Amino acid sequence: MDNGFLWGVATSAFQLEGSPYADWTSWDSILSEKPNVTNHYALYKEDLNLLKDLGVNSYRFSIEWSRIQPREHIWDDASLAHYQEIIDILLQNNIEPMVTIHHFTHPLWFIKKYPWHKEASVEKFMNFAEKVVSRLKGVRYWITFNEPYVLLLGGYLEGCMPPGIRDPALAIKALQNILICHAKTYDFIHGKAMDSGTAANVSVAHNMAALAPWSRYNPLDRLLSKIAKYFYNHSLLDAFLTGVLKIKFPFRNEISVPVPIKGKLDFFGVNYYTRLHIRFNPFKKMGVELRNRDIDGYGLTDMGWEIHPRGLEKVLRYASKLHIPLIITENGIATRDGQKKIKYMKRHIDAVEKSIKDGIDVRGYYYWSLIDNYEWLQGLDARFGLYRVDFDTLKRQPTNAAAYYSYIIKTREAWSAERQTPTQGRNL
């Protein structure tokens, strides 16, 4: 893996461009009004120019499976060529592409016939993953799955994301199949890289949150927060270390599931946004209630999320027990207030700097997101972009935070030069 620090922005295809063939398209009625969202699929050149204006040296983006394989037996080579063109433009501009193969959406046929809890999902996903990895040239950084746990919680426990199931047993089966796909894709990418003599750096992007008991004095709040912390932040890390996924839901026995992912990571992608406060509530599912609170006085985001930069240091420290390089694959704020966006960014990047100084091996930071986009459960109101999008005219306008990010990149690029071979992070 290169030694230079990756300064980037992250996006996902569906959130920018929609897709007529994706499961989410019929899931959320707002998409019938704006099926092309920001119309990035047509305006990609204009948007890629924004990366040059920002001065980033990397760009994380995803490819939309449902465009590439709109029907089970139909492959659309033009869309693969489209994503290859994006890669080529990035490379011509010395911007390192980081490609996410799966970012929440599926072709409708897949989720209907082969949802993740079914065994056949593995073969169907692998057909797609192998096609993409064989076809796309010039990619050295891959994310197999974005936030497998969020997909699980949304799709299989809360039921608020496709396939809209609420069943813990099926959730575990689905997670197992997803992790089998991660392992197979990891091996396939490395096999291809070996054949062509190129480098390959493969990871997942794991959503990690700071988690705290609502009341430190309530033993049940404390217990639940401990269980949640282990499940949400640690269990996947441990599975990469041991090949066994240990799941414990509140008030149920622990389950151990074998997963073939031991050591199948070249770096670890951390998505970090906020802290959640956990409270025992017998009327909620599994007795767990999650709340946001403004404890540090930095305020809440437009989505009501607590701004808690110290949490980023904490999750980086947890993740450092993997003893591999860490990359912050997403961090950002939904707000219409440019100054608030700047402060959020600065405080979190300061937290990264502090972690590096403390010896944690962090190799990159990707701000979420380049431009305003479709936010899964919030529609078009969550303004994460460094560039604001007017969803009627589709005009992109820089926020103050865009210039600020460029300034950060220029003034802190010394990080990469200064960084010695970092000492590994401390074990927890």
Residue ranges that bind ligand BGC, judged by CB under 6 A: 12, 15, 146-147, 150, 207, 271, 330, 368, 375
User: Toward ligand BGC, which CB reaches closer, 108 or 205?
Assistant: 205
Instruction: Single out the residue of 84, 75, 254, 291 nearest to residue 172, CA to CA.
Output: 254
- Using the minimum distance from each CB to ligand BGC, give the nearer residue, 89 or 150: 150
**Considering the complex, what minimum distance in angstroms separates the CB of residue 214 from ligand BGC?**
22
DSSP state of 158: I
Q: Which two tokens stand for residue 165?
A: 């199931």
Minimum distance of ligand BGC from residue 376's CB (angstroms):
6
**Residue nearer to ligand BGC on the CB measure, 193 or 236:** 236
Contact 57, 406 (CB under 8 A): no
- Give whichever of 15 and 121 is closer to ligand BGC, judged by the CB atom: 15
SS (H, E, C) 218-237: CHHHHHHHHHHHHHHHHHHH
The CB-of-256 to ligand BGC minimum distance in angstroms stands at 27
**Contact present, 66 and 16 (Cβ < 8 Å):** no
CA distance 395 to 321: 44
Closer CB to ligand BGC, 144 or 271, in the complex = 271
State which residue, 110 or 273, has the beta carbon closest to ligand BGC: 273
Buried/exposed 255-293: b ≥16 CB within 10 Å, e otherwise: eeeebebeebbbbbbbbbbbbbbbbbbeeeeeebbeebe
- What's the closest the beta carbon of residue 14 comes to ligand BGC, in angstroms? 9
The DSSP secondary structure of 66-128, one letter per residue, reads HHH-SBTTB--HHHHHHHHHHHHHHHHTT-EEEEEEESS--BHHHHHHS-TTSTHHHHHHHHH
Pairing assessment for the beta strands 58-62 and 96-102 based on DSSP bridges: parallel
DSSP per residue over 255-312, as a string?
EEEE-TTTT--SSEEEEEEEEEEEEE-TTSGGGEEEE----SSS-B-TT--B--THHH
Structure token pair of residue 115: 């949802």
Closest to ligand BGC by CB, 17 vs 330, is 330
The SS3 call for residue 47 is: helix
Question: Of 147 and 306, which CB lies nearer to ligand BGC in the complex structure?
Answer: 147
Q: Is 245 strand, coil or helix? A: strand
Question: Closest CB to ligand BGC among 114 and 149?
Answer: 149
Q: How far is the CB of 374 from ligand BGC (least distance, A)?
A: 8
CB of 246 to ligand BGC, least distance (A): 23
In terms of DSSP bridges, do strands 396-398 and 387-389 run parallel, antiparallel, or are they unpaired?
antiparallel
CB 25 to ligand BGC: min, Å: 16
Q: Which of these, 88, 114, 91, lies nearest to 23 by C-alpha position? A: 114
Q: How far is the CB of 428 from ligand BGC (least distance, A)?
A: 23
At closest approach, how far in Å is the CB of 251 from ligand BGC? 27
SS3 content of the chain, % helix, strand, coil (to 5): 45, 20, 35
Smallest distance from ligand BGC to CB 380, Å: 12
Is 30 or 223 the residue whose CB approaches ligand BGC more closely? Answer: 30
Amino acid, res. 418? E
